[in-house]
Structures are given as structure tokens and as C-alpha cells.
Amino acid sequence: MAILPPRLRRLAPDRLRDDPRLRALAVGLGAIPPRRMHSEQDMQVLLGCVSEAQRVVEVGVYEGASALLLCRTLPAHAELHLIDPFGAHPDALPAGWGATEWATRRTIARALSERGSQAVQVHWHVALSAPVASTWSQPLDAVFIDGDHSEAGCELDWCCWRGFVRPGGHVVFHDARADQPGGRGLPGPTAVVSRNFRQGKAPGWVIAAEADRTVAVCRST
């Protein structure tokens, strides 16, 4: 199905555009694109960290907008692990929002088909982040943390995944620059980034890039 033109999509009232069931149907069928939660500046920071990555984890997938770009950007046959329990989560999404696993999987499947034999290897983990990390054993080139936006939830994701990132690899935080001039974000991720990296509570990690709402930190040791 062809994507509906933006001028037609704008005619729909908010109560229809934000209804999880209607959005799932439209996104899954390809009638509308997944909702973008990231600016161009945000994505430049993220994609700059993964251009040569061979194994990446994304925590928090929602409708798949950022995962879609990762599928198109990562090197051929790289591993992309997508973690999301799906449904409505008060600390991950605005009130009333939610994503449906079926629709997001359809979006990603279309992106993979575009690359044919050069597609990345996508692995789905329909679960919360911490249980997945508890059984993880492989080194990672990058982790994108964009799930639970509470301070405790973001800190937990950081603590669970940081040990798997190889030296020279990155952890990227979204919505984490509310305390910076010209920056945007939410209190939880902003506090985690400020405490660990701006105040030096996480030795061996340095801020590598940041813009708009996104901060990338690199493991130096």
C-alpha cells in the first residue's frame, strides 16, 4: 500500500491519529509511516555511532522509526537487536500512546526487503530491557537507550548494558539534554547523563557527540 500524502494525513483529528489500534493498522499496512520521535540532529548523532557497527541493541522501538533508519544504515549482515515489550507504558510514551508488535514488525520487514541480500539481521526481543540483558553474553558496538524515560528506568538500562559495550563502542541516550543550552529532553534521561558523564560518575566513558535531545558516550577503556 502506498503511503498517504501528508496533506491527507493532517486532515485526521488528533483522536484518530493517536488511537493505538487505528495507528497500528495504518502503520502495519504501510498507509502511514511510523511516527518519528527523533529530529534530524538526533539521528545524525545516532547514525554517526553505528556506521561500522556489527552488533547493535535498541532499547525502546515503538513504531520503528529509528529502527527503520538503522536497518538502512548498518553494514550488510550486521546484527540489530530490537527490545520492546510493546503496549502502553507511562514512563516510555505520552499518555494514551502505544505501539503494536505486529505493525512494527511489518514496518521493519519492509525495510529489510529493500536491501535484499544486503539486509541486516534483525532479532526481536519482546520483553523489558533488564531481563534481556540478564541473559546476554555478546559484545556490542552500540546501544541506543530510548525506552523507560524515568530516571530509575534509564539508569537501569544504562547499568544493564554498559558492560557489554566494547572499548571504542557507544551508548546513545535520547531525550537527555534538557539541561543544556538549546537542548531538549526529559528529566529522567537528562539526570542520568548529567550525573554519569557531565559530573564524571562513570569513569572510562566520555561524551563523544550530542545535539538536540541526544547524547552519545564512548567507552574509552
One digit per residue, the tens of pLDDT, for the chain of length 221 reads 545 455 554 555 565 566 667 776 777 677 777 878 899 999 999 999 999 999 999 999 999 999 999 999 999 999 999 999 987 565 666 655 667 888 899 999 999 999 999 999 999 999 999 999 999 999 999 999 999 999 999 999 999 999 999 999 999 999 999 999 999 999 999 999 999 999 999 999 999 999 999 999 999 98
Output the CA angle 137-138-139, nearest 5 degrees. 125
Of the candidates 22, 26, 18, 66, which has an alpha carbon nearest to the alpha carbon of residue 46?
A: 66
| 66 assigned to some structural domain | yes
| 26 assigned to some structural domain | no
CA distance 130 to 147: 11
Q: For residue 24, what pLDDT is reported?
A: 65
Q: Is 171 helix (H, G, I), strand (E, B) or coil?
A: strand
Q: Environment class of residue 35 by beta-carbon count within 10 Å: exposed (0-12), middle (13-18) or buried (19+)?
A: middle
| 175 assigned to some structural domain | yes
Question: Is the overall model pTM greater than 0.85, yes or no?
Answer: yes
Looking at the structure of the chain, the number of domains it has is 1
Q: What is the CATH number of the domain that holds 69?
A: 3.40.50.150
Q: For residue 11, what pLDDT is reported?
A: 52
Within 8 A by CB and 6+ apart from 211, the residues are 41, 42, 44, 45
| 199 assigned to some structural domain | yes
CA 142 to chain centre: 11
Q: For residue 136, what pLDDT is reported?
A: 98
* Amino acid identity for residue 164 in this structure: F
Given the C-alpha cell 505520552, which residue does it identify? 94
CB 219 within 8 A of CB 170: yes
* Amino acid identity for residue 100 in this structure: T
CB 185 within 8 A of CB 213: yes
| 9 assigned to some structural domain | no
| 31 assigned to some structural domain | no
Q: For residue 190, what pLDDT is reported?
A: 99
| 201 assigned to some structural domain | yes
Of the candidates 14, 155, 148, which has an alpha carbon nearest to the alpha carbon of residue 88?
A: 148
Q: Environment class of residue 130 by beta-carbon count within 10 Å: exposed (0-12), middle (13-18) or buried (19+)?
A: middle
CB 126 within 8 A of CB 101: yes
CA distance 188 to 156: 11
Q: For residue 61, what pLDDT is reported?
A: 95
Beta strands per DSSP E along the chain: 55-59, 79-83, 121-125, 140-145, 165-173, 205-211, 214-219
Residue 191: give the domain boundaries: 38-219
